[in-house]
Amino acid sequence: MFGKKDQKGKKSIEKKHANNFWHIVERKLEDHEKREMELFGYWFLIQNSINNGGIKIVRS
Phi, psi dihedrals of residue 11, rounded to the nearest 5°: -75, 145
pLDDT in tens, 16-53: 678 888 888 888 888 988 988 888 888 888 888 888 88
Is residue 57 domain-resident?
no
Q: Is position 43 within any domain?
A: yes
Residue 56 belongs to a domain: no
Burial class (CB in 10 A: 0-12, 13-18, 19+), 32: middle
Answer yes or no: are the C-beta atoms of 35 and 29 closer than 8 Å: yes
Domain of 15? Answer: 2-51
pTM of the predicted structure, to 2 decimals? 0.41
Q: Report whether pLDDT(1) > 50.
A: no
Q: Is residue 14 part of a domain?
A: yes
- Residue 41 placed within a domain: yes
Domain total for the chain? 1
Is 59 inside a domain boundary? no
